[in-house]
Amino acid sequence: MRAVAEISDPIHGYFYLSSVEKDIVDSPLFQRLRRIRQLASAYLTYPSAQHTRFEHSLGAMHLAGYAGNVLKDKEYVSSDDVQMLRLAALLHDIGHGPFSHLFEEVLEVKSNITHEDIGRMIIRKSAISDILAKHGYRADEISDLAFGQSSRMFLNEIISGGLSVDLMDYLQRDAYFTGAHYGRIDAERIISSLEVYDGRLAIDRAALNSFESLLIARYQMFKAVYFHKTVRAAEVMLLKAMMLADGHLHLSESYKRVEDYMRLTDDMTLANLLMLKVDVNNNNDKDDSNIKELRLAKRLAEDYRDRRLFKSVFESILQASSRLINRLTDARYLKDRCDEIAGIAGVDPDMVYIDSAKAPSIPRAPGKEEPRDLILVGKEPFRVKRIELKDIPLISSILGYMNMIRVYTIEEHREKVAKAALSVFGSEAESWYERIAV
Amino acid sequence: MRAVAEISDPIHGYFYLSSVEKDIVDSPLFQRLRRIRQLASAYLTYPSAQHTRFEHSLGAMHLAGYAGNVLKDKEYVSSDDVQMLRLAALLHDIGHGPFSHLFEEVLEVKSNITHEDIGRMIIRKSAISDILAKHGYRADEISDLAFGQSSRMFLNEIISGGLSVDLMDYLQRDAYFTGAHYGRIDAERIISSLEVYDGRLAIDRAALNSFESLLIARYQMFKAVYFHKTVRAAEVMLLKAMMLADGHLHLSESYKRVEDYMRLTDDMTLANLLMLKVDVNNNNDKDDSNIKELRLAKRLAEDYRDRRLFKSVFESILQASSRLINRLTDARYLKDRCDEIAGIAGVDPDMVYIDSAKAPSIPRAPGKEEPRDLILVGKEPFRVKRIELKDIPLISSILGYMNMIRVYTIEEHREKVAKAALSVFGSEAESWYERIAV
Amino acid sequence: MRAVAEISDPIHGYFYLSSVEKDIVDSPLFQRLRRIRQLASAYLTYPSAQHTRFEHSLGAMHLAGYAGNVLKDKEYVSSDDVQMLRLAALLHDIGHGPFSHLFEEVLEVKSNITHEDIGRMIIRKSAISDILAKHGYRADEISDLAFGQSSRMFLNEIISGGLSVDLMDYLQRDAYFTGAHYGRIDAERIISSLEVYDGRLAIDRAALNSFESLLIARYQMFKAVYFHKTVRAAEVMLLKAMMLADGHLHLSESYKRVEDYMRLTDDMTLANLLMLKVDVNNNNDKDDSNIKELRLAKRLAEDYRDRRLFKSVFESILQASSRLINRLTDARYLKDRCDEIAGIAGVDPDMVYIDSAKAPSIPRAPGKEEPRDLILVGKEPFRVKRIELKDIPLISSILGYMNMIRVYTIEEHREKVAKAALSVFGSEAESWYERIAV
Amino acid sequence: MRAVAEISDPIHGYFYLSSVEKDIVDSPLFQRLRRIRQLASAYLTYPSAQHTRFEHSLGAMHLAGYAGNVLKDKEYVSSDDVQMLRLAALLHDIGHGPFSHLFEEVLEVKSNITHEDIGRMIIRKSAISDILAKHGYRADEISDLAFGQSSRMFLNEIISGGLSVDLMDYLQRDAYFTGAHYGRIDAERIISSLEVYDGRLAIDRAALNSFESLLIARYQMFKAVYFHKTVRAAEVMLLKAMMLADGHLHLSESYKRVEDYMRLTDDMTLANLLMLKVDVNNNNDKDDSNIKELRLAKRLAEDYRDRRLFKSVFESILQASSRLINRLTDARYLKDRCDEIAGIAGVDPDMVYIDSAKAPSIPRAPGKEEPRDLILVGKEPFRVKRIELKDIPLISSILGYMNMIRVYTIEEHREKVAKAALSVFGSEAESWYERIAV
């Protein structure tokens, strides 16, 4: 790989771009990632968290090159594989829309499509594919690698999952830019220990402590940052606003034309919400209920912009055994509880929001299945060992623990809704730990 | 001071807001600073430099509180002075427009007004003044403190100048977010050593090494970041685009209505430039030369967005003794040289840009005069000593060294313009050091 | 507190000594701590771990002052209490002998005395007590505070236990000097959140994440550093050498005269072991078995000095439920297993060493009892909550997990002893995790 | 290079030893460096500065491997050269005696020999040469490389001088362990930019800023640490004690037998000084003046151990133009001034010590000559440029500025000697900056 450009990065220091990488990075489709923050709304809580998918993608590329070279030195892959891994990591987030995962929720509900589907489209059918072709790379191969569909499973695992460069870059980066103390990990230790066994990615036994730390760091970042109650408050507001305005702004259909999608950055989407026309006479949409929805969307966007955020009045971090867990994805159930709480509190149901978030405690493997084990390579006589994650004490304790439910409302209804939420959910949130942040 | 909100910051850790501070921070005028990057366009060169005036203002406030408490413990100021210092630091950048200093250049040329003038207006006549009044503070007093007009000179010096919290925050912050190695300073050492002598801010002798380092760090940050040739390339483009489009977009008059000014964030200003109507039939401005200017402005904005930046083909860092120095601010002279170079190179003069930047090697004192000395407080028998900056070896070597001139052009004219620039400026840029980055 | 001297420390930056503190620090008894490494033999594995009890004691003092001031601001303690807390933290390790905990094992076996007993003696009856008295402090009060015997339990808890400044200093310091990635904690967050409830130390709920991290960091430091197999190998050798030579060198009686004890630094003790006279004609001790023991002690010391360390051939990290756990402190049982392994392997029993280490997964409270809960102070309606440690997921997973047993031998017997150890202990070390490092 | 052992280092992270390196590191001669502190007595001022020549030698070896690989990738050297460079860096300090440069002063005065001479002996005629030979390396070649006598000048320059791994390791390491803020440098930037031109080491132009910072960092470390008045106070005491006791302890002849030299660690040498027999009846040396000298040596050692350090009563940092500069190495002149000051002050001349230190502001090149220029490699049209150091502003300002003279005495004579020193030296130390630290 010949370096044609240099990147200076606070996380990884100096690193370099090859010719094909530079062409991709300089393309408008990729430059657009500079305007999509890595952590959507976390900057409203952690003011310095202004970092974007752009820097993260570069960092993931760099780590993929590092991992690739480790595997090349151990003769598992070729130089060409390393370049393809770097390209896959560089492009793994190319499909992300404004506010990343929030927009993805809109897409999923409205169009049943994910950022990975869009990423595949962009890699295969856009200026990106032309650049890849010009440099002799096949867009479909890069796309398969980027989204877990390579036939060599261990290559997929470098891009996503518990040993992935994605995880190792974002934990460090998010910790650095939020200032949270939890995301420090020993990526060098883990990556330099990578091995391949039976087609799967493995690590040297000596790196097990570091792997343990990696998963613990992720768990703590979820609690401190990704699921932070104020961070989620802002995100719930944006999500609701985008949902309400989608019929009008056609956000969920934007992916159909790359030119439209390219324009959808965080701030442009917020600007669109803020500029919604909600005056009856000044709006083509004469339907009253629509106008009401647009008004709410606009108001939410204004409150978001000026940081008048929802207040959390009930919170439960659910044990794996909680009865609630299965219902966290049941939209009907959540809608009913929302109405019930609003009814008890005597407030407009639009002013009560239930946020139920789940995240696998261990990152999903490339094929989305839940990972159960880890392969360790060591010295004789136990050269290779498949270890169940549940047998590693610290990790066993977090398996299944990343479910959370919160009730939000606006400042003025705080007390009423708090009481109502407690009466509706309280009996199911029994252990003290579950109610810790109320 | 009772803490009513907490800030988590990667530079200073946790710190707190008082009630009046929280009200100001939560106001839309202040939240707007989240959308004005601290380093305008540096993020195009240092991808992580996405930090904004918002975080910097909070950081400066925190350091002002620290400095204030040091002086309070030494009985130079009261608790109330400390709160006022914090407010002044919090608001010292409130007048900044999009792309900070770039916009200021437009303002100065077109309206002869500075960000400090606008800051004064905002503090005295906007929602900010109401908040201050509500909490019992006088807007004019805070404004005076924020912009170097307090009758107590040492208080002004805490806000701006070589010992200021402004400098100590931005150097650390810019280094952290760019990843540049130069901005690390020992702010704790300097601030804890602050004294007042004869109405001026002084430091303990033991902190002289740290002060020396502070100024060296600033000098190195100028060379590595603020004056970086690619950073400046992007800024030159933006500046030119704003200048060209000002008659149409009325940027330089936006300060006259707070509501307009509030909307002028970095990305919104860029969006305005990108959306310029330059189709003759689709534009009210029928004047051909105007249309041509708008087209160029739009093209520059597009190139900026997609990172097709100007290339530096000539660079000179000027010695204090250089004949060129006095002409760096002579617009006529620069325009003529620009035309001369374009003529020799045989290219459109609009494709040749001369960037001449000067910065005082030592930050200006609050009253804008060049600082010449430093007061050191020590033990007997030499209790207080006024030391000339030119007598401190490292510092003497940088006095007067922050002048720089560059010639930029677009990629395709690179070679031709390089030769022309050398023939025009070469004889005056004689020492090797001056041409180092050509 | 008036500062009379300044300390520059890589962990805590600059901090200051009061007059009484400076007198103590400058006394030969305290300066002696500069020659007792914080981590006995870890520097043979982590070369930079050369830090001593001296720096740690200063750091603990500084944090005690910080904690004290937090409690003073919340009106739980007086200024005088803060000074006493600082003195107690400064002196909490004053009783440590060479190689810290290793020497303590010799003391306990041979003289049934601990470093705390010696610390009490030194504080109450030495130059230290004179210094305290001269400055108006009562030695017995400081001694009580330093060793968990103050009547105000929460003060004891600042010095030792899970919220202590001892823990918060040593984790950070050990991580910094070893370069291990695990000891980074948010001490500022925890200390600034300290409260007192019902006579006990408590924290604000918002600091629970940080407390969790603190205990996890400690657990990981045990695995990576304190219980590292090579670190322990060196320590086992030293311990054995000191035990064998004790009758001759009278180490375990040295505490009886302060002058003798003062001379017992790490390197002086090693020098004494290296200079043992083991020539029959040149030794007053005509008893053959004694000579044999001294020879072994001397050889161990030489091997230690030249880093010819024992090799670990069997390792088991024991689950709480393991049958072995109760026998880890049964000297008879361990001696028998040692002989059994040597017999099977056909080697001299002196060449087989069983190292069984236990550490409470949560630091002992001042009164040595195992801590079971934590008091959290929050907002209404759940203002104060006593939370069981076992109800905090991450922490529950490490409760009871710090037991470890290893078999060591010399390089040449490696294979034989490995097989013998596996045949003796293998069936009891069943889960894979237990045998991870074999 | 096959890795056979791993090092964990706080400065450089993990790195590895080859087989020959491991054998050298494990040899008693090399392990001995663990007992020679990098900064002799700085730990009495910066308590954490306990790091030793051992860690520094490993770090320098690691950086030499990095530099070697950069040059190998650019095809200037072979793999074998890289291994030899690593060995040379590993062994460049092997000849250092107790308290490093202090002992060297004794050696130079008494035996006219340097640590490099001893290093050459050890590499060529000791267990080290056997290890080198066993692995197929020629001791004389490694010795030449280690001490600047390779015929390839650029290889010498990697080991010592302004671009050397020695400098880049010690600045970072000393800053890390003292906690001083000045030693942070961008070694990665400089090393990755290394080139060879005309047989000399060169750097890429883009690394010039980093090189500038490197030299500034060194200058600031001299002022803040290496020449710190309390650091030097301790060193002056030790030096005097060793000089006085040399006839009795034969320190300066110890190098003649490797076995003797090996035992001469910092603490053992101090112990020898502390155990000097100074009782007339109990000493073979019946000469009264000798006894008096030994008493003083012993007292100095005791004061050193208990940190009763000399006080600086006069200090001058000399401008290049000062008349004093030429006399800084004139022992006769200094002795006379010492007596003169003692006479005026009316104190025993043994209680007055003049410390005159000089250090080249830029590290000496391997052949000891003063470096005057730097070769920069860039892009066309100015591919290679030899730049005079005096033409780089910051660097020009420090050329020639590292001369310092101080007068020390004991606490009780402080005032008298201060006045006397001022009357003797005052008129020659005219500029304020020269007397800054009085």
A239-272 in b/e burial notation, b at 16+ Cβ within 10 A?
A: bbbbbbbbebbebbebbeebeebbbbbbbebbbb
Contact call for residues A219 and B47 (beta carbons, < 8 A) = no
* Stated pTM of the model: 0.92
Whether residues C225 and C91 share a domain: the answer is yes
List Cβ neighbours of B393 (8 Å cut-off, separation of 6 or more).
D397, D398, D401, D433
List Cβ neighbours of D202 (8 Å cut-off, separation of 6 or more).
D194, D195, D196, D374, D375, D376, D377, D384
Whether residues A77 and A194 share a domain: the answer is yes
Whether residues B224 and B314 share a domain: the answer is no
The shortest CB-CB distance from D14 to any of A13, A14, A189 is to A189
The encoded tokens of residue C14 equal 């600059």
CA atoms of D164 and D207, how far apart (whole Å): 14
CA atoms of B409 and C312, how far apart (whole Å): 67
Q: Say if A181 is an interface residue toward chain C (CB within 8 Å).
A: yes
Residue C404 is assigned to a structural domain of this protein: yes
Peptide bond into C349 cis (omega under 30): no
Residue D75's region, left for phi above 0, alpha for psi from -120 to 50, else beta, is: left
- Range(s) of the domain holding residue A321: 310-361+400-438
Mutation target for B interface from C9, C14, C190: give the one with most B CBs within 10 A. C14
What band does A432 get if pLDDT is binned at 50, 70 and 90?
A: very low
Minimal Cα distance from C380: which residue of A? A438
The shortest CB-CB distance from C306 to any of D28, D46, D177 is to D28
Tokens 């890699």 belong to A123
Comparing A362 with A223, the larger pLDDT belongs to: A223
D368-404 in b/e burial notation, b at 16+ Cβ within 10 A?
A: eeeeeebbbbbeeeeeebebebeebbbbebbbbbbbb
B398:D394 CB<8 A: yes
Whether residues C192 and C334 share a domain: the answer is no
For the cut 90, the answer to whether the pLDDT of residue A279 exceeds it is: no
A397:C394 CB<8 A: yes
What percentage of chain A reaches a pLDDT higher than 90?
Answer: 61
The shortest CB-CB distance from B189 to any of C14, C188, C189 is to C14
Q: What is the mean pLDDT of residues D104-118?
A: 89
Least confident window among A319-328, C295-304, C427-436: C427-436
Whether residues A210 and A68 share a domain: the answer is yes
SS3 D101: helix
Q: What is the mean pLDDT of residues A153-181?
A: 95
Q: Say if B189 is an interface residue toward chain C (CB within 8 Å).
A: yes
Minimal Cα distance from C206: which residue of B? B6
Residue C371: predicted pLDDT: 80
Q: What is the mean pLDDT of each run of 10 residues along chain B (438 residues)?
A: 89 95 94 95 95 98 98 96 98 94 89 90 94 97 96 95 95 95 87 94 91 90 90 94 94 89 90 87 67 94 91 77 70 91 94 84 72 82 76 74 82 90 68 38
D219: how many CB neighbours lie within 10 A of its CB? 24
Average pLDDT, chain C: 88
Provide the residue type at A106 as one letter.
Answer: V
**B81: CATH:** 1.10.3210.10
What is the DSSP code string of A124-136? Answer: HSSHHHHHHHHTT
Least confident window among B8-17, C242-251, D366-375: D366-375
Distances from the Cα of A322 to the Cα of A219, A327, A328, A387, A400, angstroms: 19, 10, 11, 27, 11
Residue D438: predicted pLDDT: 32
What band does D409 get if pLDDT is binned at 50, 70 and 90?
A: very high
Distances from the Cα of D438 to the Cα of B245, D229, D315, angstroms: 61, 10, 5
Minimal Cα distance from A193: which residue of D? D14
D28:C268 CB<8 A: no
Minimal Cα distance from D37: which residue of C? C50
**D412: CATH:** 3.30.70
The shortest CB-CB distance from B391 to any of D385, D398, D431 is to D431
Q: Say if D383 is an interface residue toward chain B (CB within 8 Å).
A: no
Residue C165 is assigned to a structural domain of this protein: yes
Enumerate the β-bridge partners of residue C54: none
Contact call for residues D154 and D200 (beta carbons, < 8 A) = yes
Question: In terms of C-beta density within 10 A (0-12 exposed, 13-18 middle, 19 or more buried), how is residue B368 classed?
Answer: exposed
C8:D178 CB<8 A: yes
Minimal Cα distance from D266: which residue of C? C267
Residue C438: predicted pLDDT: 32
What band does D386 get if pLDDT is binned at 50, 70 and 90?
A: confident
Minimal Cα distance from B192: which residue of C? C14
Peptide bond into C363 cis (omega under 30): no
Comparing D18 with D216, the larger pLDDT belongs to: D18
Tokens 């002998």 belong to C97
For the cut 70, the answer to whether the pLDDT of residue D328 exceeds it is: yes
Residue B359: predicted pLDDT: 75
Q: Say if B3 is an interface residue toward chain C (CB within 8 Å).
A: no
Q: What is the tens place of the pLDDT at every residue in A79-120?
A: 999 999 999 999 999 999 999 889 988 998 888 888 899 999
A305:B28 CB<8 A: yes
Residue A309: predicted pLDDT: 94
D271 vs C contacts (CB less than 8 Å): 268, 271
Contact call for residues B342 and B349 (beta carbons, < 8 A) = yes
C178 vs D contacts (CB less than 8 Å): 8, 10
Q: How many domains does one find in chain D? A: 2
A14 vs D contacts (CB less than 8 Å): 188-189, 192
Minimal Cα distance from A376: which residue of C? C436
Q: Could you say which of C229, C255, C273 is where a domain stops?
A: C229
Distances from the Cα of A219 to the Cα of A179, A229, A257, C124, C190, angstroms: 16, 15, 37, 48, 19
The shortest CB-CB distance from A10 to any of B34, B35, B176 is to B176
Question: In terms of C-beta density within 10 A (0-12 exposed, 13-18 middle, 19 or more buried), how is residue C73 classed?
Answer: exposed
The shortest CB-CB distance from C391 to any of A205, A401, A433 is to A433
User: How many inter-chain contacts (A to B, CB under 8 Å) are there?
Assistant: 85
What band does C232 get if pLDDT is binned at 50, 70 and 90?
A: very high
D213:B393 CB<8 A: no
Q: Say if C51 is an interface residue toward chain D (CB within 8 Å).
A: yes
Whether residues D10 and D128 share a domain: the answer is yes
Whether residues A221 and A315 share a domain: the answer is no
SS3 C180: coil
- For chain C positions 192-211, those within 8 Å of chain B (CB to CB) are 192
Q: What is the mean pLDDT of residues A118-130?
A: 94
The encoded tokens of residue B33 equal 């600073």
Work out whether strand B200-204 and strand B373-377 pair parallel, antiparallel, or are unpaired.
parallel
CA atoms of A180 and A285, how far apart (whole Å): 45
- For chain D positions 359-378, those within 8 Å of chain B (CB to CB) are 376
The encoded tokens of residue D288 equal 């009264």
User: How many inter-chain contacts (B to C, CB under 8 Å) are there?
Assistant: 8
CA atoms of A398 and C116, how far apart (whole Å): 38
Contact call for residues A117 and A143 (beta carbons, < 8 A) = no
Residue A122 is assigned to a structural domain of this protein: yes
Distances from the Cα of A325 to the Cα of A320, A321, A429, C299, angstroms: 7, 8, 11, 63
User: Do you know the residue count of chain B?
Assistant: 438
D433:B391 CB<8 A: yes
Handedness of CA A257, A259, A264, A269 (dihedral sign): negative
B189 vs C contacts (CB less than 8 Å): 14
Residue C163 is assigned to a structural domain of this protein: yes
Touching subunits of A (3+ CB pairs, under 8 Å) are B, C, D
Angle at D158 between CA D155 and CA D164, to 5 degrees: 160
Residue A400: predicted pLDDT: 62
Provide the residue type at D2 as one letter.
Answer: R
Residue A267 is assigned to a structural domain of this protein: no
User: Do you know the residue count of chain A?
Assistant: 438
Work out whether strand C373-377 and strand C200-204 pair parallel, antiparallel, or are unpaired.
parallel
Contact call for residues D241 and D305 (beta carbons, < 8 A) = no
User: How many inter-chain contacts (C to D, CB under 8 Å) are there?
Assistant: 85
List Cβ neighbours of A275 (8 Å cut-off, separation of 6 or more).
none
Element housing C398 (H / E): helix C393-398
Whether residues C168 and C44 share a domain: the answer is yes
Whether residues C224 and C317 share a domain: the answer is no
Enumerate the β-bridge partners of residue A6: A16
Question: Cα–chain-centroid distance for residue C31?
Answer: 19
Residue C400: predicted pLDDT: 62
Residue B355 is assigned to a structural domain of this protein: yes
Q: What is the mean pLDDT of residues D250-260?
A: 89
Smallest Cα distance from B26 to chain D, Å: 36
Enumerate the β-bridge partners of residue C377: C204, C384
Minimal Cα distance from C435: which residue of A? A382
What percentage of chain D reaches a pLDDT higher than 70?
Answer: 91
Question: In terms of C-beta density within 10 A (0-12 exposed, 13-18 middle, 19 or more buried), how is residue D331 classed?
Answer: exposed
CA atoms of A36 and A45, how far apart (whole Å): 17
Residue B62: predicted pLDDT: 98
Q: What is the mean pLDDT of residues D127-155?
A: 96
C396: Cα within 13 Å, side-chain hemisphere: 10
Residue A298 is assigned to a structural domain of this protein: no
Q: Could you say which of C185, C214, C229 is where a domain stops?
A: C229
Q: Say if B12 is an interface residue toward chain C (CB within 8 Å).
A: no
Q: Could you say which of C211, C229, C247 is where a domain stops?
A: C229
Whether residues B185 and B326 share a domain: the answer is no
Element housing B101 (H / E): helix B101-111
Minimal Cα distance from B73: which residue of C? C2
The encoded tokens of residue D185 equal 């440098």
Residue C48 is assigned to a structural domain of this protein: yes
The shortest CB-CB distance from C307 to any of D31, D45, D48 is to D31
Peptide bond into B366 cis (omega under 30): no
C13:D179 CB<8 A: yes
Residue D321: predicted pLDDT: 58
For the cut 60, the answer to whether the pLDDT of residue C309 exceeds it is: yes
Average pLDDT, chain A: 88
Residue C206: predicted pLDDT: 85
Handedness of CA A154, A158, A160, A163 (dihedral sign): positive
Question: In terms of C-beta density within 10 A (0-12 exposed, 13-18 middle, 19 or more buried), how is residue D220 classed?
Answer: buried
How many helices and strands, by DSSP H and E, does chain B display? 19, 9
For the cut 70, the answer to whether the pLDDT of residue A314 exceeds it is: yes
